[in-house]
Structure 1
Amino acid sequence: MAYARGGGSERQPQTASPGRIHALDGFRLLAALMVMLYHYAGLYGGWGVHPRSVFPCLYMVARYGWLGVEMFFMISGFSICLSAWGRSLGYFAVSRVSRIYPAYWMAVLLTASVVTIWPHVRQVSGWQAVLMNFTIVQEALGVPNVDGVYWTLFAELKFYALFAAVVSFGLTYRRCVLFCCLWHLAGLISISDGGNSLEAWVIPGFAPYFVAGIAFSLMHRFAPNAVLWAIVAFSFVLAEHHLGERLAGQRDAGHPMPAWPAQLTVLAAFAIMAVLALGWLTTIHWRWLTPAGALTYPLYLVHQHIGMTLIYSLRDRLPAIALVLGTTLVMLGVSWAIHRLCERPLSARLRPSLQQSIDQVHIAAGSGVPTRQAPRERVSTVPEAPKAGEPARSHLEESAVGVGEISPPLN
C-alpha cells in the first residue's frame, strides 16, 4: 500500500485500480433479509394474531430480526469511511444526496399510495405528512413516518452530518481515530447528563456500530493495530450494553425476551466485519452478490408496510410459509424495478446537477473552477513496505462499496 508522509504520523493511501468487496454485499443482503423476516414473521401486523401461533418455530428466530438494523449501521460506517476517503466535502454531500434520495422518494410515493388504498396495517396522516416525509427529517418535526423503517434513515443522516465534519478537513487515519474516540466520549457524556439534545444527535445506542464500522475500514486500509482493536472492543462492549434498551422495546406476549440470542447475534456481526476488514473473504467473487447488494436499499425501503398489506390481504388464501416467501419475491421484484427504473437514472441526473451547483458556489466564492473528481466512488491502494516506526500496513486492495445504509443504510 502506497502512502504519502506528512503531518507527523499521518498516513495517506494513494488511489490505484478499483475493486469491490463482494462479501460485504452478501452481509448487507443478510441484514435486509433479517429485517424482512422480523416484519413478516415476528410482528402481529399482517396476520391479525400473534405470529407465534402462525410460525411456532420460525418465530423464535424472526423475533430477533430487528438486529439487521444494527448490522446496517456497522456496514454504513465501514463503507462511508472507505468511499469518502480523498473526497471533498462537496463531493461527499453530492454522493450521499444522489444515492439516498431517489429510491427513497419513490418508496414514499409507492408506500403512501398502497396504504391509502388498502389501509389495513397502516394509514397516512395526510398529504402534508407525505410531503414532509420526502425530506427524511420528518422525525425531527414530530411528523409520523410513512413507513416504519424510515426512522433509521434519520439516524443515518445524523451520522453523515457528524462525519462530514471530518471530511471537511480531509480524511486521515489520525482524524478518523480521533472522531471515533470523541463520538464515544460524547455518547457517554450525553447518557450521564440524563438525556438532552446532545444525546439526540450522538445516538449513543447506535454509535458503537457506526464507530466499529469506521475502525474496521481503517483496518482494511492500514492493517489492524492495537488502537483500532481497542476501539472495536470498546464499541462491542457498548453495543452489548445498549442491547438492553432495544430488548426492552421488544416484548414477547408481554414478557421480556431472552437477551442471549441478541448478544450472540451482535458478536457474530462484529466477527463477520472483522473477517471482512482483514481481507479473509476477498476470494469471494460471486457475481450475483453485486446486484443483490444494489437491491438491498430499495428492498429495505418498501418491504415493510407494502409487504404486510399483501400478507393481510392473502393470509386466508395461502399457506403462511408460502405467503411469506411469495411476498419476499414480490418485494424483490418491486425493488429491482425501483433500482432500474428510478434509482439509477435519477441518480445519474441528480449527481451532475448537484455537482454543478457546488462548482458555481466555489466560483462565486472566488476559488476558481474546482478540480472535478471521478464520478464513481472507487478507492484502492497498492502494497508497499512500511517505513521504520510505522505500524504494519495492509496488503489488501481497497474496494468500492455499496450503500451503507440501511442502511441501513445503508455509495
Structure 2
Amino acid sequence: MTDTSADTRTAPTATVARTPTPADGPARRGRAGAPRLRALDGLRLVAALMVAAYHYGGRGGEVTRAWGTSPRLQFPTLHSLFAYGSLGVQIFFVISGFVICMSGWGRPLRSFFASRAARLLPAYWAAIVLVTVVMALPFLSFATVSPTETLLNFSMLQLPLGAHRVLGVCWTLWAEVRFYVLFALCIVLPGADRRRVVMFCACWTLAVAMAGGLHQPVLDELVMPEYAPFFIGGVGLYLVHRDRTDPYAWGIVAVNWLIGQYVAVQTHWHPPQPDQFSYRSAYGIILVVTLGFLAVAAIGLGWLDWANWRWLTVAGALTYPFYLVHEHLGWVVVQGLHRGLGLPSYATFLLTVAAMLVLARLLNRFVEERFTPKLRAVLAKPRP
C-alpha cells in the first residue's frame, strides 16, 4: 500500500457518464475544476483499518507478545473476521491502479515522478526514524533492525537487496514502486491515451498468466503475478470511470477480477490447522476481493458521489501515515494498555487505533504538509 491521496479528482479530460451537479461545489474541486472523489478517500481508510485489525487481532507472531497471549484468546468472536483484514492490501492495490492512472493521465514524466516521490518519501522517512527510536527503548522486547539495514531502509530498496525491514508493511511499497515504474515507462513517458492504456493492461495481464505458471523468481519480481491483477483492475476501473460504455475497459476489469480472486485464494487460504488461527475460507476471500472491486467501481461510476463529506478528505490524508506506523507502534501501545494498565482487549484495540490515527495526524501536519510541497517543487523543477 501507498499513499494515493495526492489526486483523487476526476481527470479534466474524462468522458464520464455524468456531469457535475450543484453539489460539486468549490470544496470538491481540484485541478482544473474536476470534482474530488471523496468516497475513494474513505475507502482508503477502510482498507487501512482492515489491515490494522489483522495486525492487532488476526495473526500470531510478535502481536502475541504484545497481548501476552494469542489474539485468538483475546478476541474469541472476532479473530476469525480480523484474519480477513490482510486483504485490505489487495483493495489498496485496486485503488492505487485507479488513482495512478488518473493522476498520470496527461502529466509529463518529471511531474509524475515528483508527485509520487514527494507523496511517498517524507512520511516514510519520518516513520523509519520514529519506529527505530521506539523499538530501541530498553524496556521493549520487540525485534530490532541493525544500524546498517536501518540506513538501507531509507532507500526503499531493502527488499530486493535482502535486508530486514524497519516497517513491516513496506513490502507493499516495493510493489507500488514497481507498478509506478511500469506505468511511467509504458504510459506516462509516451503519453497516456485510451488505446495505449488498454494495450498496457492487456499485455500485463497476459504476462501475469504466463509468469504464474513458470514460477521464475526474476520474472515474478518484474511482473508481480500476485499483485498485478489488482493494479490492472484498478486501471481498468479508471477507464470505466472515463467511459462506462467501453467494453474493453469492462473486459479488463472482469478478467483481472477473475485472476485476482484466484491468486488471493492461493496466497491467503490454507487448510484449517490447530496451530494456525488465521483460517480464511475460500468463499470469504472471494467475497472480500469482490467487494473491493465493486466499491471502487461504484465510486468510479459516480454512484457514491453523495458521500461528499469534508472529513473523508481528512481520512484520506491520514491513511498513509497511519498505515506506515500502525503495526509496530501499535504493538507497543497494546502492550502498555493491556498488559501495563490492564485494560480489556476490545478497549485496548479501539484506543490503539485511535492513538495511531492521532499519530498519523501529527505526521500529516508536521511532516507531509511541510515537506511534501517542498520536495515536489525541487524534483519538478526543470533542469538544463
- Is the structural similarity TM-score above 0.5? yes
Q: Could you list the per-position Cα deviations for residues 289-340 of structure 1 after superposition, in whole angstroms to 9, with x for gaps in the alignment?
A: 0101100000000000100122123323111111111111111111000000
After TM superposition, give the deviation of residue 243 of structure 1 in Å.
Answer: 1.7
Q: Does 1:81 align with 2:123?
A: no
Q: Could you list the per-position Cα deviations for residues 251-272 of structure 1 after superposition, in whole angstroms to 9, with x for gaps in the alignment?
A: 7643553221111111111111
Q: Does 1:352 align with 2:384?
A: no
Counterpart Cα distance in 2 of 1:329 and 1:344: 21
Q: Could you list the per-position Cα deviations for residues 328-361 of structure 1 after superposition, in whole angstroms to 9, with x for gaps in the alignment?
A: 11111110000000111111111111122xx11x
Deviation larger for 322-331 or 224-233 = 224-233
| Aligned residue in 1 for 2:354 | 329
After TM superposition, give the deviation of residue 43 of structure 1 in Å.
Answer: 2.5
Counterpart Cα distance in 1 of 2:262 and 2:235: 20
Q: CA RMSD in A?
A: 1.9
The one of the two structures with greater contact order (alpha-carbon pairs below 8 A, sep at least 6) is 1
One of 9, 21, 40 as aligned partner of 1:24: 40
For the 8 Å contact 2:145–2:165, the answer to whether it is kept is no
Judged with a 3 Å threshold, the aligned counterparts in structure 2 of structure 1 residues 117 and 185 are, in CA distance, closer, same or farther, namely same
Q: Over alpha carbons, which structure has the higher Rg?
A: 1
Judged with a 3 Å threshold, the aligned counterparts in structure 2 of structure 1 residues 119 and 249 are, in CA distance, closer, same or farther, namely farther
Letter in 1 for 2:241: H
The percent of aligned pairs where both chains have the same amino acid is: 39
Matches for 1:190-209 after TM superposition, within 5 Å: 190-209=211-230
Counterpart Cα distance in 1 of 2:78 and 2:149: 35
Letter in 1 for 2:227: F
One of 113, 131, 136 as aligned partner of 1:93: 113
Judged with a 3 Å threshold, the aligned counterparts in structure 2 of structure 1 residues 118 and 42 are, in CA distance, closer, same or farther, namely farther
Judged with a 3 Å threshold, the aligned counterparts in structure 2 of structure 1 residues 250 and 33 are, in CA distance, closer, same or farther, namely farther
Q: Secondary structure at the match of 2:237?
A: helix
Counterpart Cα distance in 2 of 1:3 and 1:352: 25
Q: Does 1:227 align with 2:243?
A: no
Deviation larger for 122-131 or 143-152 = 122-131
User: TM-score, normalization: structure 2?
Assistant: 0.87
After TM superposition, give the deviation of residue 115 of structure 1 in Å.
Answer: 1.1
After TM superposition, give the deviation of residue 137 of structure 1 in Å.
Answer: 1.1
Counterpart Cα distance in 1 of 2:142 and 2:238: 39
Letter in 1 for 2:353: T
After TM superposition, give the deviation of residue 124 of structure 1 in Å.
Answer: 2.2
After TM superposition, give the deviation of residue 123 of structure 1 in Å.
Answer: 2.1
Name structure 2 gaps, 5 residues minimum. 1-10, 15-30
Q: Could you list the per-position Cα deviations for residues 56-78 of structure 1 after superposition, in whole angstroms to 9, with x for gaps in the alignment?
A: 11112101100100010000000
Aligned residues: 349
| Aligned residue in 2 for 1:114 | 134
For the 8 Å contact 1:102–1:346, the answer to whether it is kept is yes
One of 320, 325, 342 as aligned partner of 2:345: 320
After TM superposition, give the deviation of residue 248 of structure 1 in Å.
Answer: 4.4
One of 178, 183, 192 as aligned partner of 2:204: 183
Name structure 1 gaps, 5 residues minimum. 5-14, 364-411
For the 8 Å contact 1:190–1:196, the answer to whether it is kept is no
Q: Secondary structure at the match of 1:309?
A: helix
The structure where helix makes up a greater share of residues is 2
Q: Does 1:69 align with 2:89?
A: yes
